[in-house]
Structure 1
Amino acid sequence: MFTIALQQQQYKTYILSDETANSQLEVVPERGGIITRWRVQGQDILYLDAERFANPDLSVRGGIPILFPICGNLPENTYTHNGKQYTLKQHGFARDLPWVVTNQVTEERVSLTLVLNSSEQTRAVYPFNFQLAFTYKLQGNTLEIRQQYKNLSSTPMPFSTGFHPYFLTVDKTGLEFEIPSQQYQDQITKEIHPFNGTFDLNRDEIDFAFGQLTSQSTRVTDNTRKLRLTLDYDDIYSKLVFWTLKGKDFYCLEPWSAPRNSLNTGENLTVLEPEASFSTSVRFRADFF
């Protein structure tokens, strides 16, 4: 049985349930369209910093924030388009703006569709008309995020996109990684290192970008929680970023379509022609063993 309930917490929260599988998804449209909670077999898969989430002036650390129209940050938060300079903060604005629910499905599956339209506020920092439509689909132990990007402008629209999922862990030493890449760039030191499946997790901050991906799937096994997480992503996603902070009960494994600063460099940038649309998907699966 599939259901969608609406709760008025600090924000309106949509609760999607697959009751047969005992899995739930919580979505807060007005706080950046974010997924705040995903439970499988009654267990939380995601981490959420509740204090930061309660403060609208702070970015959310937790759940699955949406990255658009950039992933990462820009030098001095600026980029140039058609000879004009714009200011755009880290990871863009989609994770900070209210989204609107446009569709709910509870027959044979459960899903929720949210839309973000361009506005005067977005055009001031990103001079394009657009519409984003994201559908969160929950079935059993799998979460799928289907995305559609529409360029409603009269000129080509460049962007990158991604997700910043925070996965709950209580012991990082119990993590095993299957990341389909042979090297990563330390985004703090800018150094490139070979990757053989392990790295030192005992640092204050880890911010590694994996490129030259050889597969559209990655996996992390949390031996302490007896949880195996699989992330499948379409081929638009050219980077996987691993980020964590010492002393915090989370790690992030983020699919990005392009690296930092791609609005300036053009590297792996997606460019939509006027009136064109583009669809893609990522899928998360949580298996307990």
Structure 2
Amino acid sequence: MYKVSSQQQQYNTYTLSDDSTNSQIEVVPERGGIVTSWQINGQEVFYLDTERFTHPDLSVRGGNPILFPLCGNLPNDTYAVDGKEYKIKQHGFARELPWTATAQSTDGKAGLTVELGSNEQTKVVYPFDFHLAFTYELRGNTLEIRQEYKNLSSTPMPFSSGFHPYFLCGDKNQLKVDIPSTSYEDNRTKENFAFDGKFNFDQDEIDSVFGNLASRSTSVVDSDRQLKIAIDYDDSYTYLVFWTVKGKDFYCLEPWTATRNSLNTKEYLTVLAPNASHTSVVKITANFF
């Protein structure tokens, strides 16, 4: 049986559940439309810095933040549109603004749609009229995120988008990472390295950017927690980023439609014509074994 319910906590929190697998997710629309928790048989899939989450002026570190209208950061946080410069923060504003829950469903899945539109605040940093509608669908041990991006402007609208999921983990040396690419760029040094499926987790930080993806799926097996995460993504997604920090019990495996600075380089940038829309799907499956 599928259920959708809501409860007023610090923020109004929606719970989507599938009784057949004892799986449930929590969504907080007004805190960036984010999924904050995913439990299967009482075991948590996502990491969340709960103390940081209580402070609205701080970005969320945990759950599955939404990246829009850019992934990563820009040099000096600056890009130009028609010769005019704009400044925008790393990963954009969608993860920080309040979204609105607009629809829910229990027909064949537990579903919740959240929406975000442009406003005077967004136009200061991103001069386009837009509308986003994301639908979270929980079935069994799979969370599917259906996205729709609409350009309501009279001019073409460029953007990149993605997700920044934080997965709770045990001993990182027991992680087996399967990324469909043979090389990556270290974002800290901008050097390129061959990838054989192994990371040195003794580093203070790992920030690895993978392009030239050979398939539409990536996965991590956490032998310590006995958990496998698989992420499937459509052709919109051209990069994967693996990020973690020493001493923290999370890793992030992030699907991006374009890499950082694409608003300037135009590489893999999505450009929507006036009144056009773009749809995209990301699917995350979590299995404890």
TM-score by length of 2: 0.99
**Counterpart Cα distance in 1 of 2:163 and 2:5:** 25
Equivalent residue runs for 1:271-282 within 5 Å? 271-282=271-282
1:198 aligned partner: 198
**Counterpart Cα distance in 1 of 2:222 and 2:59:** 27
How far residue 21 of structure 1 moved from its aligned partner, in angstroms, is 1.0
**Counterpart Cα distance in 1 of 2:254 and 2:88:** 20
Instruction: Give the fraction of aligned pairs with identical amino acids, expressed as a percent.
Output: 63
**Counterpart Cα distance in 2 of 1:259 and 1:288:** 31
How far residue 189 of structure 1 moved from its aligned partner, in angstroms, is 0.4
**Counterpart Cα distance in 2 of 1:278 and 1:197:** 33
1:188 aligns with 2:196: no
Secondary structure at the aligned position of 1:52 is classed as helix
**Counterpart Cα distance in 1 of 2:64 and 2:36:** 7
1:22 aligned partner: 22
1:12 aligns with 2:6: no
How far residue 109 of structure 1 moved from its aligned partner, in angstroms, is 1.3
Which amino acid in the other structure matches residue 79 of structure 2? Y
Equivalent residue runs for 1:98-177 within 5 Å? 98-177=98-177
Is contact 2:207-2:244 (8 Å) kept?
Answer: yes
Secondary structure at the aligned position of 1:124 is classed as helix
**Counterpart Cα distance in 2 of 1:258 and 1:229:** 22
How far residue 42 of structure 1 moved from its aligned partner, in angstroms, is 2.0
**Counterpart Cα distance in 1 of 2:180 and 2:10:** 40
**Counterpart Cα distance in 1 of 2:90 and 2:51:** 20
**Counterpart Cα distance in 2 of 1:30 and 1:164:** 18
**Counterpart Cα distance in 2 of 1:148 and 1:69:** 13
**Counterpart Cα distance in 1 of 2:27 and 2:59:** 16
Is contact 2:170-2:222 (8 Å) kept?
Answer: no
1:228 aligned partner: 228
Size of the aligned set, in residue pairs, is 289
How far residue 40 of structure 1 moved from its aligned partner, in angstroms, is 1.6
How far residue 115 of structure 1 moved from its aligned partner, in angstroms, is 0.5
Deviations 1:229-255 (A, max 9, x none): 100000111100000000000000000
2:50 aligned partner: 50
**Counterpart Cα distance in 1 of 2:246 and 2:137:** 32
1:88 aligned partner: 88
Which amino acid in the other structure matches residue 127 of structure 1? P
Which amino acid in the other structure matches residue 201 of structure 2? L
**Counterpart Cα distance in 2 of 1:194 and 1:170:** 26
**Counterpart Cα distance in 2 of 1:259 and 1:279:** 19
**Counterpart Cα distance in 2 of 1:164 and 1:78:** 22
Secondary structure at the aligned position of 1:51 is classed as helix
Give structure 2 stretches of 5+ with no counterpart.
Answer: none
Which amino acid in the other structure matches residue 49 of structure 2? D
Secondary structure at the aligned position of 1:275 is classed as coil
Which amino acid in the other structure matches residue 8 of structure 2? Q
1:97 aligned partner: 97
Equivalent residue runs for 1:230-269 within 5 Å? 230-269=230-269
**Counterpart Cα distance in 1 of 2:3 and 2:37:** 16
Deviations 1:52-84 (A, max 9, x none): 101111111000000000000111111111000
Is contact 2:146-2:280 (8 Å) kept?
Answer: yes
Equivalent residue runs for 1:201-220 within 5 Å? 201-220=201-220
1:73 aligned partner: 73
Give structure 1 stretches of 5+ with no counterpart.
Answer: none
Secondary structure at the aligned position of 1:76 is classed as helix
**Counterpart Cα distance in 2 of 1:40 and 1:286:** 8
**Counterpart Cα distance in 1 of 2:137 and 2:90:** 27
**Counterpart Cα distance in 2 of 1:228 and 1:41:** 15
Secondary structure at the aligned position of 2:125 is classed as coil
**Counterpart Cα distance in 1 of 2:105 and 2:10:** 24
Which amino acid in the other structure matches residue 175 of structure 1? L
1:284 aligned partner: 284
